[in-house]
Protein backbone atom coordinates (compact mmCIF):
# COMPACT_ATOMS: atom_id res chain seq x y z
CA UNK A 1 0.00 0.00 0.00
CA UNK A 2 0.89 3.65 -0.19
CA UNK A 3 0.28 6.80 1.82
CA UNK A 4 1.01 10.10 0.05
CA UNK A 5 0.63 13.79 0.81
CA UNK A 6 1.06 16.49 -1.81
CA UNK A 7 -0.46 18.72 -4.45
CA UNK A 8 0.44 20.56 -7.67
CA UNK A 9 0.73 24.31 -8.07
CA UNK A 10 1.21 26.53 -11.10
CA UNK A 11 3.53 28.97 -9.32
CA UNK A 12 6.22 28.24 -6.74
CA UNK A 13 5.06 31.08 -4.47
CA UNK A 14 1.61 29.44 -4.18
CA UNK A 15 3.09 26.34 -2.54
CA UNK A 16 2.00 25.71 1.06
CA UNK A 17 2.38 22.61 3.21
CA UNK A 18 -1.13 22.93 4.66
CA UNK A 19 -2.61 23.00 1.12
CA UNK A 20 -1.77 19.35 0.41
CA UNK A 21 -4.10 16.41 -0.18
CA UNK A 22 -3.76 13.08 1.64
CA UNK A 23 -4.03 9.98 -0.60
CA UNK A 24 -3.82 6.26 0.18
CA UNK A 25 -4.01 2.98 -1.72
CA UNK A 26 -4.06 -0.74 -1.04
CA UNK A 27 -3.23 -3.26 -3.75
CA UNK A 28 -2.19 -6.82 -4.45
CA UNK A 29 -0.43 -8.42 -7.41
CA UNK A 30 0.00 -11.91 -8.81
CA UNK A 31 1.15 -13.79 -11.90
CA UNK A 32 -1.53 -14.99 -14.32
CA UNK A 33 -1.66 -16.56 -17.77
CA UNK A 34 -2.16 -13.00 -19.12
CA UNK A 35 0.99 -11.81 -17.36
CA UNK A 36 1.40 -9.93 -14.10
CA UNK A 37 -1.84 -8.51 -12.68
CA UNK A 38 -2.21 -5.72 -10.12
CA UNK A 39 -5.56 -5.00 -8.47
CA UNK A 40 -6.15 -2.21 -5.99
CA UNK A 41 -8.21 0.60 -4.57
CA UNK A 42 -7.20 4.15 -3.82
CA UNK A 43 -8.85 7.15 -2.21
CA UNK A 44 -8.16 10.69 -1.09
CA UNK A 45 -9.14 12.58 2.02
CA UNK A 46 -12.27 14.15 0.48
CA UNK A 47 -13.71 10.67 -0.13
CA UNK A 48 -13.10 10.32 -3.89
CA UNK A 49 -11.94 6.81 -4.75
CA UNK A 50 -10.82 4.63 -7.61
CA UNK A 51 -10.55 0.91 -8.32
CA UNK A 52 -7.84 -0.20 -10.72
CA UNK A 53 -6.70 -3.34 -12.54
CA UNK A 54 -3.42 -3.51 -14.44
CA UNK A 55 -2.71 -6.47 -16.74
CA UNK A 56 0.66 -7.24 -18.31
CA UNK A 57 4.05 -5.60 -18.18
CA UNK A 58 4.51 -1.87 -18.87
CA UNK A 59 6.35 -1.15 -22.11
Q: Is 10 left (phi over 0), alpha (psi -120 to 50) or beta?
A: alpha
pLDDT tens digit sequence for 37-56: 999 999 998 889 999 999 99
Looking at residue 46, the DSSP 8-state letter turns out to be T
Yes or no: say if 9 and 1 are a contact pair by the CB < 8 Å rule: no
Q: Are 19 and 29 in contact (CB under 8 A)?
A: no
Coil, strand or helix at 7: coil
Kindly report the length of the chain. 59
- The 10s digit of each residue's pLDDT in 4-39 is 998 898 998 888 888 889 999 999 999 999 999 999
pTM of the model: 0.65
Classify residue 34 by its DSSP letter: T
Amino acid sequence: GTLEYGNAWERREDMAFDDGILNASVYTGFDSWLGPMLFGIGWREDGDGVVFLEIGKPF
